[in-house]
Amino acid sequence: MMLHIDAHGACAYFLIMKHDPILSGKRKPVNVSLDTGVVAFAREHGLNLSQVAEAALRVAIKSECEQQWRRENAASIERHNRWIEQNGIPLGDLPIL
């Protein structure tokens, strides 16, 4: 099965499949300005600044993807909820086995 993923689809795919489409396996050096107190505390406690920053960015990216998905699908979700309110849950009258 061929899966087409666009920029927005990548976010949904990431959320649904738990696959990380942003992972490249390569490292890129970057310059980041951080508060000196934060850096000192992190180093005193043996924290790897690169790993902590990358983990925080992944959390922020996931959050943004979730918010974007909710914005893009708000109308469909509202229509679905309204249909359920009017018609009930499909097959909801069947006994549970």
Q: What is the pLDDT of residues 42-70, one digit of tens each?
A: 999 999 999 999 999 999 999 999 999 99
Residue 21 binned pLDDT confidence (cut-offs 50, 70, 90): confident
Q: How far apart are CA 56 and CA 14, in angstroms?
A: 16
Q: What's the residue count for the chain?
A: 97
* Residue 8 vs residue 58, higher pLDDT: 58
Please provide residue 54's backbone torsions phi and psi, each rounded to the nearest 5 degrees: -65, -40
pTM exceeding the 0.75 threshold for the entire prediction: no
Q: Is the pLDDT confidence value at 2 over 50?
A: no
pLDDT for position 26: 87
**Residue 72 · residue 10 · CB < 8 Å:** no
